[in-house]
Chains A and B, each alone.
Chain A
Amino acid sequence: MKPEKINRIALVLLSAAALGLPLVVRSATYLHILVLLYFYAYLTTCWNLVGGFAGVLPLGHAAFVGIGAYTSTILSLQYGVSPWLGMIVGGLLAAGVGILIGLPTFKLRGAYFALATIAFSEGLRVMVENIDRLGPFTINGPRGLQIPPLDTGLTNFMFAGKEPYYYSILVMLAGVLFLTYRISRSKLGYALNAGGEEPEAAMALGIDVARTKLIAMALSSFLTALAGTFYAQFTLYIHPKSIISLDLSFEIAFIALIGGRGSIAGPVLGALLLRPVSDFSRIYFGDTLPGMHLIIFGVVLILVMNFQPRGLQEPLTRLYQKVVNRLFHWGALEAAR
């Protein structure tokens, strides 16, 4: 068997496993955990478009999750707009904001962009916490918004069981992974990587580095906001402290760096490795050892950055390639016999 063929088979098997998982996992708790895992993998993949490819450090992506969640929720609760439409509106709003943040900061040292994203995200949270009504929109300050579980169904993006949510986020994740794959092999992907690594050389080679970063930022913010709508529809309750939180922003960045930023598999891998740590340590140590998972995150992060600066994706990819090569040679030998 050719390595490409093995890769394709592995991908098919993986997809089949992901599709079939809800048939095996019947517990609502575990499905919930899986949905959140994909949710984080999705967010991190979006983050990776700027944080990985463009080589800057966004630390306020929770703001875009919040923009997406609030936009679609306000529109559907107060104006009867379908969450699907609200999702797009939220995404466009987030893209605009992303461009506004990037516009002045992409020309400066990376630290400014990182700080601007944090400040915007924290500023947004404080605003939302302080505003009950904004013109015609009810925001409800720190109490947040509750979505009454009325009519379930695809048009309302609301379901009785967890399975439909599982498949929704799985499709979203697959979509954004495919998009990332296409971008990484396109002119934009090359330009982003080049501009992130050596901006002066990239500029000399015809790349308007600040502009490509803006494109990536707009795309990333747009896609991130879509997940905000998903989160609102999944939990049916959003409030500023939980959704526009620095913890969420940082967790995304941690997952990306530990998994391997700038690679396609890295974010998914990071989520697969880290989400269970935080879920289970919350379940088992939540009362006795609060914050245990954050200590683990911190330690793992420092160790990984020390010994695998490109993230765990690198040694695992190498291992996978070795296995594939073995299979290939073994297959060739069999055929020869």
Chain B
Amino acid sequence: MIYMIEDTINGILMGSIYGLTALGLTIIFGVLKVINFAHGSLLMVGMYAAYWAVALTGLHPYLTLVLVVPVMFVFGYYLQDIVIQPIFRAEKNVREPITVIIVTTGVWYILDNLTLLVFGPHYRTIQVNPLRGRMLEIGGLMISVPKLWGFVSAMVAAAAVYVFLQRTRMGRAIRATSLDRDAASLMGINPYKVYNVAFGIGTATAGIAAVTLVPFYNVFPTVGVLFDIKGFIIVVLGGLGSIGGAILGGIIIGLIESVGPQFMTATWTEAIVYGLFLLVLFVKPAGLFGVKYDW
């Protein structure tokens, strides 16, 4: 019984981190209407950034946020501005920007394999790690401290993005563009600028996720692929474009992964996740929570 509770808590914590990794995916889709296949790779870049920040400066892992998040924002901003935007413009009249989707796949391949070339295939873990294996004991329950912090940062990040979109001028411009790009541009909003910012924000949230992962997760060139596919599933479960849905979708996946192995071999839980995804696509494509866009 105690294991069951522990697994449940662990599933929620890890799941919220999954949700955090998918948050940027859902933001970018909400605005650009494009699945960013490079999102996992952006997470990977963030993890390398956090790793090297710790290794070179000896900072506390969480303090690297002040470095990683701005760097990731700028990286995402210019990635969209320089690489993706021209293709958007070329495909302006096309309803489904397939070429844009596939170009993000190209970015994925380039980032992953460049990292492989530069840093090699090794698994890296940070050496100066005050959080390694830290556990919190509550009434016999063992809870991982870095995952708990991951949960907290997921909630804070999701709330912050939500408030930003609701309350700020830029946030409103982003929402307007998301609803109707053409109408927004008639009202004097430059949609491409908005795309840049949305991409930057999405990438920055991947940076936050990266920082929370680095204390307890290996860093290697293809680490993003794991989270990529999970992210796709999460955003569809939660409803493409929904912020709350991303976090909830993440928690569902986390729960299946951590509670599932009590009843079956761990790899089967993976198959269940795919099955659930296809099931949702069949019966409730707007996502489990039925929200199309909550902003």
Contact = CB atoms under 8 A, between A and B. Distances in A.
Given A57-B98, A123-B278, A295-B113, A129 B267 contact: yes
A122 interface: yes
16 contacts: A56-B96, A57-B96, A104-B282, A110-B96, A111-B35, A111-B96, A111-B240, A118-B229, A122-B274, A123-B278, A130-B267, A291-B113, A291-B116, A298-B110, A305-B90, A305-B103
Say which size band chain B's interface belongs to: 35 or more
Q: Is the interface of B mostly helix, strand, loop or mixed?
A: helix
A301 B106 contact: yes
Contact of B87 (A111, A254, A291, A305): A305
B95 A199 contact: yes
A122 B231 CA distance: 14
Given A119-B232, A290-B113, A298-B105, 11 more contacts: A109-B96, A115-B35, A119-B229, A123-B274, A127-B271, A130-B265, A291-B113, A301-B103, A301-B105, A302-B83, A305-B87
Nearest to B84: A302
Interface in A117-145: 118-120, 122-123, 126-127, 129-130
A55 B98 CA distance: 8
B217 interface: no
B278 A305 contact: no
The 5 closest A-B pairs by CB, nearest first: A123-B274, A291-B113, A298-B110, A110-B96, A301-B106
Given A291-B117, A301-B106, A111 B101 contact: yes
A295 B109 contact: yes
Residue with the highest number of chain A CB atoms closer than 10 Å, among B101, B103, B113: B113
B192 to A, nearest CB: 15
A254 B102 contact: yes
Interface in B258-295: 265, 267-268, 270-271, 274-275, 277-278, 281-282, 285
Contacts of A120: 274, 278
B63 to A, nearest CB: 32
B233 interface: yes
Nearest to B101: A57
Residue of A116, A292, A299 ringed by the most chain B CB atoms within 10 A: A116
A257 B116 CA distance: 25
B33 interface: yes
Interface of A: 51, 55-57, 103-105, 108-112, 114-116, 118-120, 122-123, 126-127, 129-130, 198-199, 250, 253-254, 257, 289-292, 294-295, 297-299, 301-302, 305-306, 309
Contacts of B236: 112, 115
Nearest to A104: B282
Contacts of A199: 95
A309 B87 contact: yes
Main secondary structure of the interface of A (DSSP, over half): helix
B87 A105 contact: no
A172 B267 CA distance: 37
A130 B270 CA distance: 10
B96 A55 contact: yes
Contacts of A292: 113, 117
A111 B268 contact: no
B129 interface: no
Given A55-B98, A292-B117, A126 B274 contact: yes
Nearest to A108: B285
B86 interface: yes
A242 to B, nearest CB: 16
A51 B96 CA distance: 12
Give the interface centre of B29, B106, B270, B275 by most chain A CB atoms within 10 Å. B106
A229 B221 CA distance: 33
A119 B277 contact: yes
A295 B109 CA distance: 6
A112 B285 contact: yes
B241 to A, nearest CB: 10
A109 to B, nearest CB: 7
A65 B256 CA distance: 29
A122 B229 contact: yes
B99 interface: yes
Contact of B102 (A115, A289, A305): A305
Contacts of B98: 51, 55-57, 110
Contacts of A115: 35, 232, 236, 281
Nearest to A57: B98
Contact of A130 (B87, B108, B271, B281): B271
Contacts of B275: 123
Given A295-B109, A299-B110, A309-B91, A289 B117 contact: yes
Contacts of B116: 290-291
A204 to B, nearest CB: 15
Interface in B169-215: none
Given A115-B35, A299-B110, A305-B103, A104 B232 contact: no
A309 B90 contact: yes
A57 B268 CA distance: 28
Contacts of A250: 105, 109
A55 to B, nearest CB: 7
A295 B95 CA distance: 29
A306 B229 contact: no
A105 B281 contact: yes
Interface string B225-260: 000010011001000100000000000000000000
A104 B282 CA distance: 5
B5 interface: no
